Amino acid sequence: KKLYETVVKEYKTTQVFPPSRDLFKAYELCPYHKVKVVILGQDPYHNVGQAQGMSFSVPKGVPLPPSLQNIFKEIRDDLSILEPDCGDLSYWAKQGVLLLNTVLTVRAHQAFSHRGIGWEEFTDATIRAIEEKEDPVVYILWGAPAQKKRSMIRQKKRLVLTAPHPSPLSAYRGFFGSKPFSKCNAYLRKEGVEEIDWQLPSSSSSAM
């Protein structure tokens, strides 16, 4: 309740991202029963027009942030597919990829400004709920904050992939070459689960 009151007040009194209509978009596009993969981010993008309620994703037509550029480079090198030109990751979400940030809101231009208001407990509860599922789930944890959640992952049918964050500050320390996308699909295939098609539609496609 305190989290709810704080968030409502913040939306009323300051500029907060993502827009309130997109706050739970990750959950809307990838409902609980569909979750096969969890990509855990940190905070939403804090510049105008970027955050859309899914970790790392930006709306169609928005320039790709550096972290997302690096994710796309790793996809290209890992899977030998075309580097996407559009940063909207909805296509992944609809296939069962939960694009979850550990904190769901941020004040405009103030990175990490909503850490500690209660979102961490909310997203921990999400992970605990996923851990009730007996179906196979792959967790992709990039960066130290995401990797702190590893101790919560205890079910048998789990693959946990860790690497440095894709930000330009850390991508060269082991994010590049970590091949999370092919490892994820190999695991899903082994478990008899439909793989993720990581090739995003091009920006000229209507499939977004």
- At 156 the pLDDT is 93
Contact in structure between 56 and 71 (CB atoms under 8 Å): yes
Distance from C-alpha of 158 to C-alpha of 136, rounded to nearest angstrom: 6
Distance from C-alpha of 41 to C-alpha of 39, rounded to nearest angstrom: 7
Query: pLDDT tens-digit profile of 17-46?
Result: 999 999 999 999 999 999 999 999 989 999
Look up 124 and say whether it is catalytic. no
Domain ranges in the chain are: 2-190
**Does the structure show a pLDDT above 90 at 208?**
no
Could you give the count of Cα atoms lying within 13 Å of 182 in the half-sphere of its Cβ? 11
Query: pLDDT tens-digit profile of 127-163?
Result: 999 999 999 999 999 999 899 999 999 999 999 999 9
Of the CATH numbers 3.40.462.10, 3.40.470.10, 3.40.50.1820, 3.30.70.870, which one belongs to the domain with range 2-190?
Answer: 3.40.470.10
183: its two tokens: 């490892």
**Taking the complete model, does pTM exceed 0.85, yes or no?**
yes
Tally the residues of the chain. 208
Query: Which of 43, 77, 78, 197 is an active site residue?
Result: 43
**Phi, psi for residue 111 in degrees, rounded to 5:** -55, 140
Best CA proximity match to 153, nearest among 142, 166, 140: 140
Pairing of strands 106-107, 16-17: antiparallel
**Does the structure show a pLDDT above 60 at 58?**
yes
What is the DSSP-derived secondary structure letter of residue 152? G
